[in-house]
Amino acid sequence: MTDRFTLPDLPWAADALEPHISANTLGFHHGKHHAAYVKNLNGLIDGTDLKELSLEEIMRKTSGDDARKGVFNNAAQIWNHTFYWRSMKPGGGGAPTGAIASKIDEAFGGYDAFKSAFHKAAATLFGSGWAWLCDAGGKLEIVQTKDADSPICHGKKPLITIDVWEHAYYLDYQNRRPDYATTWLDSLVNWEYAQENLERADVTV
C-alpha cells in the first residue's frame, strides 16, 4: 500500500515557538496527533475512489456524510493542523500592517476590537474546535468551528486559525485557554501568512 498523504514538516524548528509553545507540546501535537490523522486517513481511503482526490476535495466530498464521518474528521484535521502551523511564526503576534490591517479595520473598527472578538471566540468555544479569521465574500469575519469542521466546507476562505483542542495548549497552559489565546495573538500569529491567504483565490495546504 502506497500512502496518499504524508505528515508535513513543521514550518520552523520544534523549539522555535518557545517559551510560548514548548517543543514538548509540539512533539505530541505534531508528532502524535497530526501524524495519527495522516495514518488514519491513508487507511480509510485506501482502495476507494477518494484516494486520488486532494485533501480539500476529500473534505468537501465527505462533509456532512455520516457514513464517511471518520474520513472527513481525519482529512479535516490534517488540513486544519497544517494550516494552524503556518498561522504561527517565531517572533509573530501584534497588530498587522498593509492590506490585511485595512480589512480588519473595515470589518471590526480597529485591531483592538478584532483582538477582543477573536480572543473571545477562541476562549469561549465550548469543547474542542477552532477559531478562524475568514474572508467571507470580501468581508472579514471571525468563525468558530467544532471538532474537525473547517470553513472551507462552508464557502469561506480562512486566513488564520488557532487550535483550541486541549492537546494544543494543555501541557503549557493547563486549563488556562484564555492565556494561551492571549499569547497566541501577542506573540505567535503570522500576519504575513494571513496576507498571503487574503491575496489567494483559493486556500490550499
Q: Quote the mean pLDDT of the chain.
A: 96
Residue boundaries of the structural domains of the chain: 23-86, 98-199
**pLDDT class of 2 with cuts at 50, 70, 90:** confident
Rounded (5°) CA angle 42-43-47: 90
Residue 194: partners with Cβ closer than 8 Å, 6 or more residues away: 87, 96, 100, 133, 159, 160
Tell the CATH topology of 98-199: minor pseudopilin epsh fold (3.55.40)
Number of residues that this document lists for the chain:
205
Q: What is the pLDDT averaged over residues 127-138? A: 96
Other beta carbons within 10 Å of 157: 19
Grid coordinates representing 162? 488557532
One DSSP character per residue, 37-72 reads HHHHHHHHHTTSTTTTS-HHHHHHHHTT-GGGHHHH
pLDDT tens across 10-69, in order? 999 999 999 999 999 999 999 999 999 999 999 999 999 999 999 999 999 999 999 999
The 10s digit of each residue's pLDDT in 92-101 is 999 999 999 9
pLDDT digits (tens, 9 = 90+) for 150-184: 999 999 999 999 999 999 999 999 999 999 999 99
Q: Which fold has domain 23-86?
A: Helix Hairpins (1.10.287)
> 138-152: per-residue pLDDT in tens?
999 999 999 999 999
